[in-house]
Amino acid sequence: MNPKRLEAGQVIDGFTLEQPLPPGGMASFWRVSRPGTDMPMLMKIPLMRRGEDPITIVGFEVEQMILARLTGPHVPRFVAAGDFEQPYIVMEFIAGRPVKSFLDNTPLPPAQVADIGARIAFALHDLHRQHVIHLDLKPSNVILRDDGEAVLIDFGLSRHDQLPDLVAEEFDDPVGTGPYVAPEQVLRDRGDPRSDIFALGVILYFLATGERPFGEPQRAAEWRRRLWRDPVPPRRRNEKIPPWLQEIILHCLEVDPGERYATAAQLAFDLQHPEQVVLTARAERRERDGWPTVLMRRLRTPKRLPPRDRTLSGLLAGAPIVLAAIDLAPEGAELREALAVAVRRVLTTSPGARLACVNVLKTSRIMVDPETDAHGRNLHLQRLIELKRWTRALPIAAERVTYHVIEAVDPAAALVDYARHTRIDHIVIGARGSSPVRRLLGSVSAKVVAEAPCTVTVVRLRQEPGAAASG
């Protein structure tokens, strides 16, 4: 089908072409309508130049395959696809602002970079949970909806973990977009979700400094350079970048995927909690590595990677964000110990886990609460100190633990909100003994179990038969 022949008013399989949109590199786009469908829709029609360009054909086939099974707010809703005689995809038209449009105003303030980054990271995590790695993440492939949610588009080079990888089978050379492609993609590994985290690191670098960390290499042969040559540290390009943001960006841009954030949710967590980012040597880096180091890296660069033994869902399952809800009341010491035992079990089986220790400081609805206790100590600070002490025997590195004291009138609602907002995978919470009053009023743990968006483990001290339940 020759796209030039399409005209407004033409009907394809029940869809009326309303208005042409600016074409992309491999497809033309039309706003379309269909009686009975209110959702704004877009038809994507591949540009078949000179007959059959394999990347266009296979990319279109892959996008049809993958988009049709994706759901949720972070992808355009799939409506219909046309087959080989009349190839097209109809999907939701996303009103909003492409991240590409922010590039005109770079460098952006760090808070805005973190905000955009966290939104994209949440979208990526949602995609990864649906077994898909994007593999062509770049500013033109992300749109921020008017409500702020990031939407990922263009799945022509994507990989579904449980479906045939048609792209890998068609092309012998690595595919992707030069500035954003991850080192392992250059080595033709298309199975690692952390490739998307690398690409997001490139976007963050670009937004924060106004420059691309690896320039704009055109030929795939030049892409290899990023396997050994580290980028100029962002703070060197823009001194207004705070150490925490450089830490996050360079953490994303590690050459070895194992050194990057394990999941996009963990990256989003850091972008949401700048004050809790543990600074390493990355944060202070002012120069690129010297030539001897770079030369050594170049000599050690493998030609190819060993085959992987973990699936995408296995990788995500091994790196959850665990929330421990800790009650610091003096009479709860025994329960806190039991909670630590339960958290230890979770951490032992999930080596990539992060732990968020949360205590809720209950406030009253009407009164202004005192900020200090009877001894004049700052309540907030005191609680952070106690939370830290609680984690001292847990099998997890300090940089993977964060501490949060949340002030709230309704502790259960606050915990559920926090878990939803930060994409917590697993909540571990203690339940005080049962009693008639507690059953009547409802306990915090029961409400969390009922409303949490994730797995909840409730820890309760064993009660001996006949022993009086405490309130």
Partner 1 sequence: MRIALMSDVHGNREAFAACLEHAAENGIDRYVFLGDYAGYGADPGWVIDTVGDHVGRGAIALLGNHDAAVLGTSVGMNPVAADAIDWTRGQLDERQRRFLADLPLSVEDDDRLYVHSSAFEPDAWHYVTDLYAASRSLMATQAHATFCGHTHVPALFHMSRTGKFASFDPVERVEIPLTPQRRWLAVLGSVGQPRDRDPAACYAILDDAAYALTYMRVPYDIERAARKILDAGLPAMLAARLFDGY
Sheet holding 150-152, edge to edge: 96-98, 142-145, 150-152
Q: Does 132 bind partner 1 (CB under 8 A)?
A: no
Min. distance of Cβ 57 from partner 1 in angstroms? 6
Question: Of 57-65, 93-101, 269-277, 353-361, which part binds partner 1 (CB under 8 A)?
Answer: 57-65
With respect to partner 1, which residue has the nearer C-beta, 61 or 247?
61
With respect to partner 1, which residue has the nearer C-beta, 61 or 184?
61
Stretch 63-82 residues interacting with partner 1 (CB under 8 A): 64-65, 68-69
Q: Position 59: which residue type?
A: G
> Among 1, 47, 48, 57, which residue sits at the site for partner 1 (rule: CB under 8 A)?
57
Q: Does 58 bind partner 1 (CB under 8 A)?
A: yes
> Among 9, 50, 84, 389, which residue sits at the site for partner 1 (rule: CB under 8 A)?
84
Burial 451-469 (b: 16+ CB within 10 A, else e): ebebebbebeeeeeeeeee
Q: How far is CA 69 from CA 33, 72, 163, in A?
A: 22, 10, 11
With respect to partner 1, which residue has the nearer C-beta, 7 or 172?
172
> Among 7, 38, 83, 331, which residue sits at the site for partner 1 (rule: CB under 8 A)?
83
Given the structure tokens 């990788």, which residue do they identify?
Answer: 315
With respect to partner 1, which residue has the nearer C-beta, 68 or 232?
68
Residue 277 near residue 244, CB atoms below 8 Å: yes
Three-point CA angle 350, 151, 352, nearest 5°: 10
| 303 three-class SS | coil
Closest to 122 measured CA to CA, from 250, 9, 267, 304 = 267
Question: Of 55-63, 219-227, 382-390, 398-406, which part binds partner 1 (CB under 8 A)?
Answer: 55-63
Binding-residue pattern over the window 9 to 48 for partner 1, x denoting contact by CB under 8 A: ----------------------------------------
Say how far apart CA 346 and CA 454 lie, in whole Å.
14
- Please write down the HEC assignment for all residues of 224-284: HHHHCCCCCCHHHHCCCCCHHHHHHHHHHCCCCHHHCCCCHHHHHHHHHCHHHCCCCHHHH
Neighbour tally for 309: CB within 10 Å: 6
Question: Of 52-60, 88-96, 146-154, 330-338, which part binds partner 1 (CB under 8 A)?
Answer: 52-60
Binding-residue pattern over the window 158 to 187 for partner 1, x denoting contact by CB under 8 A: ----xxx-x--xx-----------------
Say how far apart CA 362 and CA 364 lie, in whole Å.
7
Helix (H) or strand (E) holding 220: helix 220-223
With respect to partner 1, which residue has the nearer C-beta, 307 or 436?
307
Q: Does 406 bind partner 1 (CB under 8 A)?
A: no
With respect to partner 1, which residue has the nearer C-beta, 43 or 277?
43
Stretch 180-219 residues interacting with partner 1 (CB under 8 A): none
Say how far apart CA 434 and CA 330 lie, in whole Å.
18
Q: Which chain residues interact with partner 1 by CB under 8 A?
A: 52, 54, 57-58, 60-61, 64-65, 68-69, 83-84, 162-164, 166, 169-170
